[in-house]
Structures are given as C-alpha cells and as structure tokens.
Amino acid sequence: MTHDKTHEVSVLYLLPLRLSVGAALLFSGASKISAGNWGAAYAQKLTEFVTANVPNAFDFYRPFLESVVLPNATAFAVLVAWSELLLGISIFLGLFTRFGAAAGIFLALNYTFAIGLAVWMPGPETLFIWALFTLMISSAGRGLGVDGILRRGKRIRLFT
C-alpha cells in the first residue's frame, strides 16, 4: 500500500512535462482546425510542406509521401489536425496517457521521416519524441490525471 502512495507522489514530477506536451499538441491541432473546414483548410499548408520536404525525406518514406499523402492531402490534413487535438486533450487530462503518448510518437516519427531528420540527432523534434516516450513508459497520467482516478476506482489497467 505504501508503494502505491510513493508511486502516486513520484509521478507528480512528470506533471509539468505532461501538461506542456499536451498543451503543445492541443494548441497545434486547434490552430489547424480553426483555420477552417474542420481542418481541411490546412491541406494547402500540408501540401506545401510535403512538396518542399520530399527531397529531404528518407528514401523509404518518400514513395509514401508522393503516392499517398500528396494525392490525399485534404484527408491527411484533417487526420493530422484532429489527431493532434485529441492526443493533446488525452495527454493534458491524463486520460489514457500511455496510449496518447504512443500515438503521439507515431505522429512525430512520421514528421521526422518527412523532413529527413534522424531520430538520434539532437533537436526540438527529437526532444519532443523523447518527452512522449517518457510519458508513455511512466505512469504520468496517474499524477493529477484521469488515469489515476480510473485506476483507483476500478482496478482497470487498460491504457493506464
């Protein structure tokens, strides 16, 4: 029993990280959605971004960008915008934090593959991925988050 209390207190150290990562994703997604048409207005910027970065993209990722993302830019714009918003809400509230962080890593890795940035190279993108990784492997959602409430109430360990 004392181990649980120690664990709950220690995850409070991750609260600033969880809130800042969640807020960053939330605001990024919200700005794309507020641009208009439920995120579809972001399609033009996405097309410009992908077109500018195709020469820099990793070789294994370039065909995906050219044959899937560019022809379906509107669908990907909506998908990216809503994914960022929902993941931001999830991580910020500490609701299914591990799942949200894992999905955020997937989103961030796709971005780094598109710009041709190696994950082991230092930079803000890499730092963001490591922050998400830290949230994923820890119990960050249990510190003043919904995951902690769910875990105390029902003993369900799915995604918490």
pLDDT in tens, the chain (160 residues): 445 554 545 778 999 999 999 999 999 999 999 988 878 889 999 999 999 999 999 999 999 999 999 999 999 999 999 999 999 999 999 999 999 999 999 999 999 999 999 888 888 999 999 999 999 999 888 888 999 888 876 555 555 4
Rounded to whole angstroms, the Cα distance separating 12 from 148 reads 11
- Dmax over CA atoms of the chain, in Å, equals 56
Question: Residue 120 carries which side chain, given as an amino acid letter?
Answer: W
130 inside domain: yes
159 inside domain: no
11 inside domain: yes
145 inside domain: yes
92 inside domain: yes
- Give the total number of structural domains in the chain: 1
Q: What residue numbers bound the domain in which 148 lies?
A: 2-154
160 inside domain: no
149 inside domain: yes
62 inside domain: yes
